[in-house]
Amino acid sequence: MQKILIELKILECRGNTVKRNSCASLTLLAFGVLTFSSCSRDKPQSLRALNLSYQGAATENQDKAEDSSTPQFLIDAGATIVEANFRTLAQGRYLVAENGGGGAVNANRSQASSWETFKIIDKNGGALQDGDFVYIQTTSGQFLQVTNGTSLSINASSRNPENWELFRIIKLNGGVIGNGATIGFKSFSNGKFISALNGGGAGVDVHGLDFGTWERFYIGARVTNTPVVLATSISDQWRLVWSDEFNGTSLDESKWVYEVQKPYWLNNELQNYTDRRPENVRVANGNLIIEARKDNFGGEYSSGRIKTQGKVSWTYGRVEARIQVPSGFGTWPAFWMMPDNQSRGWPACGEIDIMEHVGYDPNVIHATLHSAKYNWSIGNQRTATTHVEGAVSGFHVYAMEWYPDRIDMFVDGVKYFSAANDNGGPDSWPYNSNFHLILNLAVGGTWGGAMGVDPNIWPKQMLVDYVRVYQK
């Protein structure tokens, strides 16, 4: 393999691992991958967010950079791109990237042309809607960013879409975002809204404490198929190996089987898991719908649970689903995995909970690993929680990246949990064999019903836009 070695001094680095003027080298591999090495290290490190274009797909036989750690913010290959302009609510002035990008951002134009046109990149795909994480790209290809990540100023000079460039799009009254909607942008890095000074006619900053008048814009939008070049090392890309987009009219039984169980079968849950009953499991409008009902069908409550056991399973990879969870006391939705071989029994066989949610805590999402050494029955399970604003009112992408040496969990591309293989053998790390997927909506139980079950909220639905599995 041909290599070119470049010695250099680091002049500036956004992260904390390499200091200004540190000695380092870049290695350019023949097919366009760069690796990065500090002079004090032997192992090359991937250079994050390098602005490279790469045409064509990577093949399984291509060499890869030695460090395949994934950037914190991934953009799905199916990211939705919306071409848009933004007009202030207060004064009717358009947002503009001066010179088409590369510097200042203002809100002082009376009409929209190319400099006032942007691409909204919904990083996880699907319909653009309230609460989605997005990047905003100028016609020249730069991204709007919060200067230094924490200041109140904004510029359009970034070529690298990471956390400083990440915004949550907010829609007045919620829902899907289309032409003419009233929207705003809340910075991921400093937690404040983009605000047009004086409501328009002047500059723009990122100081809005709430979604007020100066923070509101009318959007003129249309979906476009124009591709966007994103900065991701080839070594960080995943290959889609399995998915269900739920675009049909019924559950695809070549991929899923129904788990049929009576009430109190597990965790003191109240539901009857039914078999091929469309009231509980169905596909409609591009979503899988799992519905829990208080209808006295084989028990006071009925619901659905499906799995890929016996159809398909995997060892290692990236597993993700775009889900909207229900609200209300007594709901307990989950997206998780169990091993094909459960001969050791639970918890020794292992369990991977990618997403769990209980309705009495509506904006909190949980991820957990169970094993013989670490599990809830002895109070030391490896777990984490994260606050997800709008978990019950919109879709979010829940993902796991599973490697031989660790498991990482993400919500909307943001990693919030990582557990390392402690090399203690299968009692602590039973995650080196095939696991299958499970989706279910439980009612009550030891956790879901810990604060009681509200008898007046049913039916409740768990909506799943897609499930995807990637491997390298």
Which band of pLDDT confidence, cut at 50, 70 and 90, is reported for residue 172? confident
The pLDDT of residue 162 is: 84
What is the spatial distance between Cα 421 and Cα 239, in angstroms, rounded to a whole number? 24
Q: Which of 188, 177, 270 is nearest to 217 (CA)?
A: 177
Q: Is the pLDDT of residue 18 over 90?
A: no
Give the lowest-confidence range in 168-182, 236-250, 261-275.
Answer: 168-182
Q: Which fold has domain 238-471?
A: Jelly Rolls (2.60.120)
What is the spatial distance between Cα 367 and Cα 352, in angstroms, rounded to a whole number? 8
Contact 329, 454 (CB under 8 A): yes
Question: Average pLDDT in the 411-423 region?
Answer: 92
pLDDT digits (tens, 9 = 90+) for 331-340: 999 999 999 9
Question: What positions carry a catalytic annotation?
Answer: 351, 356
What is the spatial distance between Cα 286 and Cα 33, in angstroms, rounded to a whole number? 37
Strands 382-387 and 364-370: antiparallel
Q: Is the pLDDT of residue 145 over 70?
A: yes
Q: Is the pLDDT of residue 231 over 50?
A: no
Question: Average pLDDT in the 279-306 region?
Answer: 98
Residue 193's identity, in one-letter code, is F
Give the lowest-confidence range in 80-89, 235-244, 439-448.
Answer: 235-244
Q: Is the pLDDT of residue 60 over 70?
A: no
From residue 266, alpha-carbon distances to 273, 333, 339, 443, 452 in Å are 11, 14, 17, 11, 17
Q: Is the pLDDT of residue 225 over 80?
A: no
Which band of pLDDT confidence, cut at 50, 70 and 90, is reported for residue 234? very low
Q: Which fold has domain 80-224?
A: Trefoil (Acidic Fibroblast Growth Factor, subunit A) (2.80.10)
Buried b (16+ CB within 10 A) or exposed e, 218-246: bbbbeeeeeeeebbbbbbbbbeeebebbb
Name the strands in the sheet holding 23-29, side by side, starting at the edge strand that comes first in the sequence. 3-9, 23-29, 34-38, 45-46
Compute the mean pLDDT over every residue in the chain, rounded to the nearest whole number: 81
Q: If you ran DSSP here, which 8-state letter would residue 49 be given?
A: T
Q: Is the pLDDT of residue 300 over 80?
A: yes
DSSP string over 183-212: EEEEETTT--EEEEGGGSSEEEEEEESSS-
Q: What is the pTM of this model?
A: 0.56
> 214: helix, coil or strand?
helix
- Check the CA dihedral 351-355-358-363 and report its sign: positive
The pLDDT of residue 250 is: 96
> Which residues make up the CATH 2.80.10.50 domain(s) of the chain?
80-224
The pLDDT of residue 220 is: 85
Neighbours of 333 (CB within 10 A): 27
> Which residues make up the CATH 2.60.120.200 domain(s) of the chain?
238-471
